[in-house]
Structure 1
Amino acid sequence: MIQAFYTGVSGIKTHQYGIDIIADNLSNISTNGFRSSNAEFSSLFQENISTDAQLSSVDSNIGLGSKLNAVTMNQNIGVYQLTERSTDLAIMGDGWFAIQGQGEPLYTRDGAFTFNANRELVTDDGYYVLGTIGNNIEDGVLVETLAEIPLGDAKSQQKLSLPQELQVAVQPTTEVKFYANIGLEDTVRVMSGKAIDPQNNNNAIRLEFSKADPQVSPGTQWNVVATAQSNNLVTVVNSETQAITYEPETIYDTQTGVVAFDEAGQLISNSLPAIDNNGASVVVNLGTGYDGVISINDTIRASSESNGKEAGELVGYDINRNGEVVAAFTNGVQSSVATLAIYHFINDGGLEKVSGTRFAESSNSGKAIFFQDPDGSNIKGVDITNYKLEGSNVEIETALTELIVMQRSYDANSKSITTAHEMLQKALDMDAK
């Protein structure tokens, strides 16, 4: 009977722990990135009854009391939920985000991040998100456009603090390609294309075609004059006639050449050299064959395309599906400037629980590491998606079932104490008689 008391009391205490753990799981069913816990029990002592274990397949051990042996992490992935922020991230598989306050880094699956007023990527309660900042920013200027930033060493990750003011340098035009039909008639044809100079001025490359004299058959030959000029036009008013004309403010360079077409109208030669656009050499690309400038008896038309970008100011930062922090500028340029770190552990279940969504490295989990590709470069090793958050991994139907089991076990242990008490009372009454 004393054993019954002991077993019942320890069972009540143990299953109360289990009920508390399940209650905590249920209370966090709506917590993003929550990892539920499982209670594991074991016997305090065991008594071996007198049977020969070698001759019997029946377990001859009787447990005496119970204890909470361990509280383990449920490593199942929660349900992914759509959000409206590009900075909300979810890990599509194994891995952990790293965040840091005043102490050592913590690890979480909750990817509800945002940029604060200082352009730092943080959690909602102010913990800094860790990652690798690229080397493509110098003195507030983006010096290189990158699609991704390589992960640094696992121990050297830092908080993602980005410049509040950032510019992308001008990319001067190096080539202007023209598409046109200048026809067959002996008349002057004029066209122009956009060209950006190193001073961020939006200039024009102006072409003027006139038929060469004499013509050499077969085909046709045209003289071409190329002019690099500013687009800042000034108004000139003739004082006598009051006529208004517009003239370019500045001419930077003029080049001449000859283009030749065969009898079918396709371009076969071009001697026009590159032109100086206020300090930048620009190739005037007239194409070859029918891809570019042609001379046929058809509708007169002209268009052009050019490379280069004007300087741009920072619009803001975003995070893409690969966990890259992308800077967007007013001129349309986008570039990765940082990347989030995704850590892995040899034993995720060994992480020390700090809260329902945050864990710390422990001796059981092993050191936080990065995966590596065959070349030895650090990689995330898992896909990341934005505009999504991973919800809690608590399954309400499972948790409620476990709660019922725990309550029944609690009641059974309580009943065993009551029964033992009644038996002891009867034994005392018999002794009294």
Structure 2
Amino acid sequence: MPFNIGLSGLNAAQADLQTTGNNVSNSGTTGFKRSRAEFGDVFAQSFGGISQTAIGSGTRLQAVTQQFSQGRTEFTENGLDLAIDGEGFFVLNDQGSTVYTRAGEFQVNRDGFLENNQGQQLQGYPPQNPNTTDPDFNTGQLGDIRLQTGDAPPQATSQIEALVNLRSDAEAPEDDFDLTDPDTYNFSSSLTVYDSLGTARDATVYFVKGDGNREWTAHVGLDDGTDPYGSFDLEFDGSGALSSVDPEPAQVTVPTAALGNGAEPLVFEMDFDGTTQYGGDFSVNDLNQDGFASGRLTGVDIDSSGVVFARFTNGQSSVLGQVAMANFRNPQGLEQLGNNNWAETFAAGDRQLGAPGTSNLGTIQAGALEASNVDIAQELVNLITAQRNFQANAQTISTADQVTQTIINIR
């Protein structure tokens, strides 16, 4: 019996050494979770035996459980590296099978999909309105996240906001308005607008003082045209505030023929709200429009909620998807698959899917990786302890052998 007890102790110490050695060997593995060997005593007792005098029969390995504590966050120079701060797992598509990981080392493959170094594709939710900044996602549809690599479509100008101050003491020009003759208007200001093909156009707003003290006319011209494409009468009250615009809405229409590139007619409204007639100098407080040209992809950003944004050279961005995360009631029940992957099991409980930062799911840190949660100092101490346990159990066997040898040598 002492031999069996000592042997069980040797086996237990060896299992402890192997578990600790596996932890040490994975101290540099991204997203690795250290394991702990758990033991139980062996106690054999026959029916009717006396427990007060019964002796145990050694020990045995009950389980090797992973410890899902948070690893430290290490920042990298790769914007597609993702670290989870909190609970949860990334969801991966492994050739039709679903696996889970804490390792967020991702890159873009030749087809534009986000995948890890095993070729497993990151799963997420598609946007309900692609190519926009609309943050609404179809959370009922889980699929591969794909980065858009084509040009972002242009947007034609639909509105110009003109917020200016017109000098109240300006004098009306003597001649009729001619946009090619600066003597026929008082002030002007230009900005860039865009047609339906994203071609940039120079638009100019000309302001002409009317015969009345509170009357002005705004003419809108485009590029090198000789005639305005829209003219609007502005009237101010005695305090200098804009009281009326005629016609309303102040709409400008540039026909396709005038654009010369086959674009759709350029139609936009002029918004003069906030324009004033004060005694100060002419000033342009705000003159902007809502159109933009086409753009090429310059980069991809992922925020803490897992929303993937594409940035383009035209200053615009669009939502490509949202990273999905999963969690389980008992993560220690997950099946280890190797390569930093786990598979769901009955013991782990039902899978809970959601967006990062919701429910009990953690948030995402882009440009960073979660390091192994192995504490080398603690593991080295564990190695010493396991070694001592092994030596002590070996001594138990050696002592039992000496006792047995003594009995055999009795004459």
Using the size of structure 2 for normalisation, the TM-score is 0.84
Q: What amino acid is the match of 1:149?
A: F
Q: Where in structure 2 are the equivalents of 1:249-288 lying within 5 Å?
A: 249=225, 254-272=229-247, 273-278=250-255, 279-287=265-273
Contact map agreement 1:146 1:337 (CA 8 A) in 2: no
% same residue: 26
Distance (whole Å) between structure 2 residues aligned to residue 422 and residue 149 of structure 1: 74
Aligned residue in 2 for 1:130: 123
Q: Where in structure 2 are the equivalents of 1:240-251 lying within 5 Å?
A: 248-249=224-225
Aligned residue in 2 for 1:159: 144
- How many Å apart are 1:88 and its aligned residue? 1.5
Q: Where in structure 2 are the equivalents of 1:350-369 lying within 5 Å?
A: 350-355=333-338, 357-369=340-352
Aligned residue in 2 for 1:190: 187
Query: Are 1:107 and 2:100 matched, yes or no?
Result: yes
Greater share of strand: 1
- How many Å apart are 1:99 and its aligned residue? 2.0
Contact map agreement 2:151 2:294 (CA 8 A) in 1: no
Aligned residue in 1 for 2:14: 16
Q: Secondary structure at the match of 1:292?
A: coil
Q: Deviations over 1:378-398 (max 9, x none)?
A: 878332121221111112232
- How many Å apart are 1:211 and its aligned residue? 2.9
Contact map agreement 1:8 1:414 (CA 8 A) in 2: yes
Q: Secondary structure at the match of 2:56?
A: strand
Unmatched 5+ residue regions in structure 1?
54-58, 232-247
Contact map agreement 1:321 1:384 (CA 8 A) in 2: yes
Quick one: structure 1 residues 66 and 357, their matched pair in 2 at CA, closer, same or farther if it must change by over 3 Å? same
Q: Secondary structure at the match of 2:44?
A: strand
Identify which of 275, 280, 283 aligns with 1:301: 283
Contact map agreement 1:168 1:329 (CA 8 A) in 2: no
Contact map agreement 1:173 1:196 (CA 8 A) in 2: no
Q: Secondary structure at the match of 2:304?
A: coil
- How many Å apart are 1:249 and its aligned residue? 4.7
Across the two proteins, how many residue pairs are aligned to each other? 385
Distance (whole Å) between structure 2 residues aligned to residue 371 and residue 258 of structure 1: 55
Aligned residue in 2 for 1:401: 381
Contact map agreement 1:15 1:409 (CA 8 A) in 2: yes
Distance (whole Å) between structure 1 residues aligned to residue 355 and residue 133 of structure 2: 24
Q: Deviations over 1:299-345 (max 9, x none)?
A: 33335222222232333433222211211122111121111111011
Quick one: structure 1 residues 222 and 120, their matched pair in 2 at CA, closer, same or farther if it must change by over 3 Å? same
Quick one: structure 1 residues 99 and 372, their matched pair in 2 at CA, closer, same or farther if it must change by over 3 Å? closer
- How many Å apart are 1:264 and its aligned residue? 4.3
Query: Are 1:73 and 2:73 matched, yes or no?
Result: no
Q: Secondary structure at the match of 1:299?
A: coil
Distance (whole Å) between structure 2 residues aligned to residue 299 and residue 383 of structure 1: 52
Q: Deviations over 1:21-70 (max 9, x none)?
A: 100101111211111111111234434798877xxxxx765321322111
Distance (whole Å) between structure 2 residues aligned to residue 257 and residue 222 of structure 1: 11
Q: Secondary structure at the match of 1:29?
A: coil
Using the size of structure 1 for normalisation, the TM-score is 0.80
Q: Secondary structure at the match of 2:57?
A: strand
- How many Å apart are 1:5 and its aligned residue? 0.6
Aligned residue in 2 for 1:146: 134
Query: Are 1:95 and 2:88 matched, yes or no?
Result: yes
Q: Deviations over 1:79-102 (max 9, x none)?
A: 111222221211111100122333
Quick one: structure 1 residues 299 and 175, their matched pair in 2 at CA, closer, same or farther if it must change by over 3 Å? closer
Q: Deviations over 1:161-196 (max 9, x none)?
A: 334324234243323323233441214223234332
- How many Å apart are 1:204 and its aligned residue? 4.0
Which sits farther off after the overlay, 257-266 or 402-411?
A: 257-266
Q: Secondary structure at the match of 1:5?
A: helix
Q: Deviations over 1:402-429 (max 9, x none)?
A: 2222111111111111111111111111
Aligned residue in 1 for 2:75: 82
Q: Where in structure 2 are the equivalents of 1:365-404 lying within 5 Å?
A: 365-371=348-354, 381-404=361-384
Q: What amino acid is the match of 2:153?
A: V
Contact map agreement 1:148 1:339 (CA 8 A) in 2: no
Unmatched 5+ residue regions in structure 2?
174-184, 256-264
Q: Secondary structure at the match of 1:147?
A: coil
Aligned residue in 1 for 2:396: 416
Q: Secondary structure at the match of 1:64?
A: coil
Q: Secondary structure at the match of 1:411?
A: helix
Contact map agreement 1:371 1:380 (CA 8 A) in 2: no
Contact map agreement 1:346 1:365 (CA 8 A) in 2: yes
Which sits farther off after the overlay, 167-176 or 43-52?
A: 43-52
Quick one: structure 1 residues 169 and 88, their matched pair in 2 at CA, closer, same or farther if it must change by over 3 Å? same
Distance (whole Å) between structure 2 residues aligned to residue 372 and residue 328 of structure 1: 22
Quick one: structure 1 residues 174 and 211, their matched pair in 2 at CA, closer, same or farther if it must change by over 3 Å? closer
Contact map agreement 1:46 1:64 (CA 8 A) in 2: yes
Quick one: structure 1 residues 428 and 381, their matched pair in 2 at CA, closer, same or farther if it must change by over 3 Å? closer
